[in-house]
């Protein structure tokens, strides 16, 4: 998907060249599909707040026609494998098909940390709560529906929650409210290579106050659950 670029025409020309060269099958402009995506997901453009580009691309991606399974990988993500040729996608699809509790799957951002945070270790997978939009696999139909209005205290931990509820914040809240888990493949690892937070907008005074309040809510919730 093409979104949030300075020169849309140039981006389209580059994408078309890659399509003709066989590097990609197709491409889509977020602006052309966003209205449909918002309707399917039960949201309005106002719900995305003043940072729509942290959510609109994902809502369009999950509602575009295509394969029943969707894999998203951020452009700044690199995947490394303990064993060359390890197919985490096929293994994850098989795991999600076996366990109706699971909503998404992904490689490990840190195998040690993922295993420590997991509720359960099952073979090569750590099972538990959590969601990141950096790299994930899911059934398209599971995400292309109105699941994005749930709220959960732990979803306030996301870095932009004080400005707007982003796609990953909303998915995480849905998962926690409906006891849906993710499967993290411990034999495949990924890392985000770009700087984190550099593109985040400056918070207004109200948003800074909201961030302090959210941190207090998070701290109290975690203390109560400890």
pLDDT at res. 28: 97
pLDDT in tens, the chain (226 residues): 999 999 999 999 999 999 999 999 999 999 999 999 999 999 999 999 999 999 999 999 999 999 999 999 998 899 986 566 678 999 999 999 999 999 999 999 999 999 999 999 999 999 999 999 999 999 999 999 999 999 999 999 999 999 999 999 999 999 999 999 999 999 999 998 877 767 899 999 999 999 999 999 999 999 998 8
- Give the number of domains in the chain: 2
pLDDT at res. 85: 67
* C-beta of residue 166 within 8 angstroms of C-beta of residue 49: no
Give Cα separations from 33 to 15, 26, 62, 203, 205 (angstroms): 17, 14, 11, 29, 34
pLDDT at res. 199: 82
Helix, strand, coil percent content, the chain, rounded in steps of 5? 45, 20, 35
pLDDT at res. 75: 86
* C-beta of residue 106 within 8 angstroms of C-beta of residue 132: yes
Q: What are the structure tokens assigned to 71, written together?
A: 């894999």
Pairing relation of β-strands 69-73 and 135-139? Answer: antiparallel
The answer to whether residues 1 and 51 belong to one domain is: yes
Task: For CA atoms 147, 153, 155, 159, give the dihedral sign.
Answer: positive
Residue at which a domain ends, from 49, 65, 81:
65
The answer to whether residues 73 and 61 belong to one domain is: no
Among residues 213, 214, 211, the alpha carbon closest in space to that of 202 is found at 211
The answer to whether residues 119 and 154 belong to one domain is: yes
The answer to whether residues 40 and 77 belong to one domain is: no
User: What is the rounded CA–CA span in Å between residue 129 and residue 191?
Assistant: 19
Query: What residue numbers bound the domain in which 81 lies?
Result: 69-225
pLDDT at res. 211: 97
Q: Taking phi first (over 0 means left), then psi (-120 to 50 degrees means alpha), and beta for anything else, what does residue 99 get?
A: beta
Residue at which a domain ends, from 16, 47, 65:
65
pLDDT at res. 185: 96
User: What is the rounded CA–CA span in Å between residue 97 and residue 80?
Assistant: 25
Residue at which a domain ends, from 50, 65, 80:
65
The answer to whether residues 50 and 124 belong to one domain is: no
pLDDT at res. 198: 76
The answer to whether residues 118 and 186 belong to one domain is: yes
């Amino acid at each position: 998907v093409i979104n949030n670029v300075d020169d849309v025409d140039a981006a389209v020309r580059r994408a078309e060249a890659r399509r003709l060269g066989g590097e990609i099958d197709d491409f889509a402009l977020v602006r052309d599909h966003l209205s449909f995506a918002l309707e399917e997901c039960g949201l309005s453009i106002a719900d995305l707040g003043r940072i729509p580009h942290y959510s609109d691309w994902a809502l369009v991606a999950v509602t575009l026609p295509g394969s029943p399974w969707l894999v998203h990988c951020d452009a700044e993500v690199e995947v490394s494998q303990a064993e060359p040729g390890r197919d985490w996608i096929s293994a994850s699809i098989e795991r999600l098909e076996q366990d109706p509790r699971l909503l998404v799957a992904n490689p490990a951002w840190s195998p040690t940390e993922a295993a420590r945070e997991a509720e359960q270790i099952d073979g090569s997978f750590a099972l538990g709560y959590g969601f990141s939009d950096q790299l994930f696999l899911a059934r398209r139909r599971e995400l292309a529906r109105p699941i994005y209005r749930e709220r959960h205290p732990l979803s306030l931990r996301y870095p932009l929650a004080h400005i707007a509820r982003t796609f990953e914040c909303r998915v995480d809240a849905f998962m926690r409210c409906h006891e849906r888990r993710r499967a993290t493949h411990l034999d495949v690892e990924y890392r985000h290579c770009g700087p984190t937070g550099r593109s985040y907008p400056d918070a207004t005074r109200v948003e800074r106050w909201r961030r302090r309040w959210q941190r207090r809510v998070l701290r109290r919730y975690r203390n109560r659950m400890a």
